[in-house]
Amino acid sequence: MKFVYEGFDTAGRRVKGDTEAAGAAEAADALRRQGIFATRVYEQEKSTRPQGEVSRARRVVSLRELAHFYRQLSILVCTHTPLVQALEVVERQVQPGAWRDVLADVRRRVEEGESFSEAMAEYPNCFDAISRSMVAAGESGGMLDTMLKGLSTLTRQQMTLRKSVVGALTYPVVLISISLVVVVVMMMFVLPKFEELFETLQTPLPPTTAVLMASGAFLREYWWIVFPLIFAGMGGLGYYLTSPAGRRRIDHAAVHAPKVGPIVQSFATARLVRLLGVLIQARIALLDALLLTRESMTNACYAGLLERAEEAVQRGQTLASVMADAQLIAPAVSEAIASGEKTGTMGEVLVQVADYLDEDNEQTVKALGSLIEPIILTVLGLVVGFVAISMFLPLFDLTAAGGAGPTP
């Protein structure tokens, strides 16, 4: 049979092609011997299968749903429930929608004779390469329930970390947005009333009031230019930040920034060691684990570090030697990696290090949240106070001038 594959070569480049083999597993083994790590292998006939409904489903799966799915499935498989029946049980508990359609198609494929990991490969945006590799390792080693439990723990940890970061940033973002709207409304609709009053009184305006009035007049006169320019600038900045070059520069600046850099490094290191530790515990080869971890890293600096680690391991060097020379990894983490390599327990050591780093990072997020809020409130208070004082200051000056006039 002819199989189509997608994956990466030894240099980390994405490759696609086709090969002849008796089955998907044999095709993956043959590709591995050729230096190609396949993330997806499927029969050529299946590539023409309509994917309209699948494409919609790929974008609606949350980390919570995935964690719940892996947890339930691991419990059922642990109790020796046949995989097809376990998938059917989990499917019935999911609300009708795109995610349930995905599970129904996965179950149907397993019923037709595909392996669970091959069925998952049809939905790469629901089940990433790490999940598929761990499931494949569990199927081949008879430890599917253990791998599913590990995936559940990994997904819940990612969900908890994301919730902590989003929770810490939600209040400041909402506060800044509301304050900006208030300031714009004041300049567009409130300042004109004061401007008419000042013209009637014919009183000289203080410099701050004059600047504020001029800014408000400019905004009211050219709003049709100002607002599109702001939105266009935000769109251009967003496009640049999502481009490969922009992403690399932002990642490099964030990692090496004073005060902020150590925090970014700690979060990236925690993700790196957790993914690598979980994959090694799943008995996935070190080179494959490094490749999968590199593809899952969102920081370009750490992706480059893992690429150098792959090259070093291929040359026969130890992983600890690469990590020790990198400024991105704390000395304590590199020492833990060296200890794990010597004792043959690197997977367990890395997961323990990740637990420690995640706890520390969670406390850091809470501390930053409690620190950012008063700073933002102070800055916004100064801005709003400047606008209010600038509007009322001429009235105070006029009152003082009238009160200081000559007495009869």
Task: Output the DSSP codes for 318-334.
Answer: -HHHHHHH-TTS-HHHH
Look at residue 377 in the predicted model and tell me its pLDDT.
82
- What is the residue-level pLDDT of the chain in tens, covering all 408 positions? 677 777 777 666 667 777 877 777 777 778 777 777 777 777 755 433 434 344 444 445 788 888 899 999 999 988 888 999 999 999 998 888 888 899 999 999 998 888 898 888 888 888 888 888 888 888 877 888 888 888 888 888 888 888 877 877 788 888 888 888 888 888 888 888 887 777 777 767 788 888 888 888 888 888 889 889 989 998 988 888 888 888 888 888 888 888 888 888 998 898 888 888 888 888 888 888 888 888 888 888 898 888 888 888 888 888 888 887 667 888 888 899 889 888 888 889 998 998 898 888 888 888 887 778 788 888 888 887 888 888 778 777 666 655 544 444
CA distance 234 to 162: 24
Is this model's pTM higher than 0.95 or not? no
The Cβ-side half-sphere exposure at 140, using a 13 Å CA radius, reads 14
21: CB partners within 8 A, 6+ apart: 1, 3, 27, 30
The CA-CA-CA angle for residues 52, 55, 60, to 5°, reads 135
At 274, the amino acid letter reads R
Residue 15 and residue 36 in contact, taking contact as beta carbons nearer than 8 Å: yes
Helices (H), 186-206: 191-201
